[in-house]
Amino acid sequence: MKCFKIYGSTVIGVFFLLGCNAYKAQKQEAQLSFPELGTLIKTKDEIWYSAVEQVGVPNWSVLKVSAKQLPFNRTSYSSYTKYVEQAGKINSISFSDSLPLKPKYLRLELLDKLDLTTLLNNDAHDALRTYISYNEDYKLITGLNLTVPETAMSDFTLAEAIQLQKDDYGNIQLVVINGELESRYFFSELQVFGYQYVNFCWGEDRYHNLIIKNLMPKGERCPKGTYAKASKVGTDRAYLKF
């Protein structure tokens, strides 16, 4: 009996250790993988960590992008150092909160949320809207934080235009246009260390069809008359009718 108890405890311990290692591996993978700009994700809250899963790309051909320099602060630098450490890369950026001159990173953002809303509400996205309406954990990636060499920063910030395009295979490319020169990047080639997303706020059109009314940044509430949960759309009308 004692042998059985010892053996049973050992097996449980082994399975627990394997479970811990599996979760740690998933956590590390999640922290190293960042979604691409202009894609749909599903946020996931696991037992020990939060992560996102890129689930699809809306049917767009070209999206306009802005680029701006931002100084590192404690929060953004902490995100950067965590990424560098977990990726096994060398931290080439020094930061001190007490120094007046801070190193800078690049933030890419999709322009014109109104055009994005119109795009997502067109007929080509009927199936997509239905799919994401069942779960409020679906989000749209509208911003990325990344580092580039100081000598290359102006190529982005002073560019005549920056666009998201797709190649012949549907892969997303960042296209930086300066005169006749076009520089193309896959996001896997860039050192991305953070992202921003928007939530969908749902409502109805005049025919009572379910549509996306607003795209709201994380932490902001949906405007009056729109809902984060698509299932709530039409409930006020149904109540009044009753």
Q: What is the 3-state secondary structure (H, E, C) of 71-126?
A: ECCHHHHHHHHHHHHHHCCCCCCCCCCCCCCCCEEEEEEECCHHHHHHHHCCHHHH
Interatomic CA distance for residues 35 and 196, integer angstroms: 10
State residue 99's pLDDT score. 87
Burial of 113 (0-12, 13-18, 19+ CB in 10 A): middle
Whether residue 156 contacts residue 148, with contact meaning beta carbons closer than 8 Å, is answered with yes
| DSSP H or E stretch at residue 138 | strand 138-147
Residue 57 has pLDDT above 50, yes or no: yes
Q: In one letter, which amino acid is 50?
A: S
Identify the H or E element spanning 196.
Answer: strand 191-204
Helix axes 2-32 and 74-87, enclosed angle (nearest 10) = 120
In this predicted structure, what is the pLDDT of residue 10?
A: 44
Reported as a single tens digit per residue, the pLDDT across 126-162 is 999 999 999 999 999 999 999 998 888 999 999 999 9
Question: Tens digit of pLDDT for each residue in 59-95?
Answer: 999 999 999 999 999 999 999 999 999 888 889 899 9
Report the SS3 class of residue 149: coil
* pLDDT number for residue 46: 52
pLDDT digits (tens, 9 = 90+) for 85-108: 988 888 989 999 888 999 999 999
